[in-house]
Amino acid sequence: MPSLGRARLREGDLIILGLDPGLGTTGWGLIAADGNRLTHIANGQIKTDAGMALATRLLALDLALTDLILEHQPNGAAVEEVFVNVNPQSTLKLGQARGVVLLAASRSGMEVGEYAARLVKKSVVGVGNASKDQVHAMVARLLPGAKVAGPDASDALAVAITHAHHLASARRIPRK
């Protein structure tokens, strides 16, 4: 697992877990955020075996996520809102994995931010209609030193960055 290690983290950093759910591959990315200063912690992709029963695959996904959360103790989690234009069977599969991912975060007491794909692109690249390649290039640039495990891990890091930006702007708005 590529990691910069916990030593680089400063007190006051929020650890954010971005997640890109999928039954076959779930991408994850952990960053530390202190306002708009972001540090990459780790990222990866959890794969489940298509030859196993559905319930077993969901259990494998849940166990991997639970391990990850226990190890890194993130303060918050974020996922992309789903754009459902694929076939219904794919939507159902995605939904089943997404339910397990949201549950794993929620069970650990984290609030889970959900962000529209457009907002993730705007937050990472600056424009809402950025291409996937542009997003991935900016993720690598915003998180220097991060060796990204694959496209799903990159998407997960992008949504973690979006969550960090959202928290930073929310903090700048004075509370009444």
Binding-site residue ranges for Mg(2+): 20, 80, 152
User: DSSP string spanning 104-161?
Assistant: HHHHTT--EEEE-HHHHHHHHTSSTT--HHHHHHHHHHHSTT----SHHHHHHHHHHH
Angstrom CA distances, 62 to 3, 4, 54, 130, 163, stand at 22, 25, 12, 32, 22
The Cα–Cα gap between 164 and 171 comes to 11
- Catalytic: 152? yes
Q: Which is nearer to a second copy, 119 or 137 (CB)?
A: 119
Q: Is 11 a catalytic residue?
A: no
Burial class (CB in 10 A: 0-12, 13-18, 19+), 162: buried
**At its nearest, how many Å lie between a second copy and the CB of residue 136?**
25
**80 annotated active-site:** yes
Binding residues: 20, 80, 152
Enumerate binding residues for a second copy (CB under 8 A): 53-56, 58-59, 62, 82, 84-85, 88-89, 91-100, 102-103, 105-107, 111-112, 114
- The closest alpha carbon to 35, from 14, 64, 59, belongs to 14
- In the set 20, 62, 81, 133, the catalytic residue is 20
Least distance from a second copy to the Cβ atom of residue 47, Å: 17
Of 52 and 127, CB closest to a second copy: 52
- Is the CB of 49 or the CB of 141 nearer to a second copy? 49
Min. distance of Cβ 22 from a second copy in angstroms? 12
Q: What amino acid positions are annotated as catalytic residues?
A: 20, 80, 152
